[in-house]
Amino acid sequence: MNHETPRANHLIDLRRITKVYGSGVAAMHALRGIDIRIGKGEFVAVMGPSGSGKSTCMNILGCLDTPTSGTYLFQGVDVGALTRDQRALLRRHYLGFIFQGFNLLNRTSALENVELPLIYRGVPRRERHARALKALELVGLKGWESHTPGELSGGQQQRVAIARAVVIEPEVILADEPTGNLDSATGREVMDLLCTFNKDRGITVVMVTHDTHMATYARRTIEFLDGLIDSEESGQGEC
């Protein structure tokens, strides 16, 4: 089955990707030769039951794991040919991550949490401070900069996480169940934010979700089952 998008400029290109954990009779085939192509500016939802391979796929996309076989091209560059340090640079400069559990530093202010990826990039203090302030304002948290995660609601914490993801001006946001710990109304607010960054800034969004309603925001849905792509649908999407 060919899962090619109609776009010619593929930002992400996975070709016959497999991932096997263990060996022999204990081998677990998480991915069994998948092909995915995602164009710049797309909003894609990735769905499937637990153990279907979707999280493994996201880890490979985020350079947090490497495939057993197959080719991963990012902007035409073979990620498999990169060194560990080069993959870290790719993550640092091109990829923004949003997690279900927010992954914020508990004793650190919202502003400092957002600044963190800029510290890793060696951005001077004054510039990273200004960029973090702007990112927090963009997600509606102006005035909350000095608050720690424990002083913020779940929705506010996820907004901090979104600000942290976009402060580096990434090519791609990889969102893993970004509304999983939120009530439905707050979840929609978070999805509206992701839509804004997708439409207004052209950031490509790839989102894992179990929530069929949240998946309707995406313009393409890829369904995983048993390490393979079971189906793929394109539509208008709410975003």
pLDDT by residue (tens digit) across 38-87?
Answer: 999 999 999 999 999 999 999 999 999 999 999 999 999 999 999 999 99
Superfamily of domain 41-59+83-234: P-loop containing nucleotide triphosphate hydrolases (3.40.50.300)
Q: Is the whole-model pTM more than 0.75? A: yes
Question: Of 219, 163, 221, whose CA–CA distance to 190 is shortest?
Answer: 163
Distance in angstroms (rounded) separating the CA atoms of residues 18 and 217:
28
Count of CB atoms within 10 A of residue 230's CB?
Answer: 14
State yes or no: pLDDT of 9 exceeds 80: no
pLDDT by residue (tens digit) across 143-189?
Answer: 999 999 999 999 999 999 999 999 999 999 999 999 998 999 999 99
Distance in angstroms (rounded) separating the CA atoms of residues 149 and 237:
32
- Return the domain boundaries, the chain: 41-59+83-234
Place of tokens 């960029």: 131
Distance in angstroms (rounded) separating the CA atoms of residues 116 and 3:
36
Distance in angstroms (rounded) separating the CA atoms of residues 232 and 41:
18
CA distances (Å), origin 111, targets 75, 107, 170: 31, 12, 18
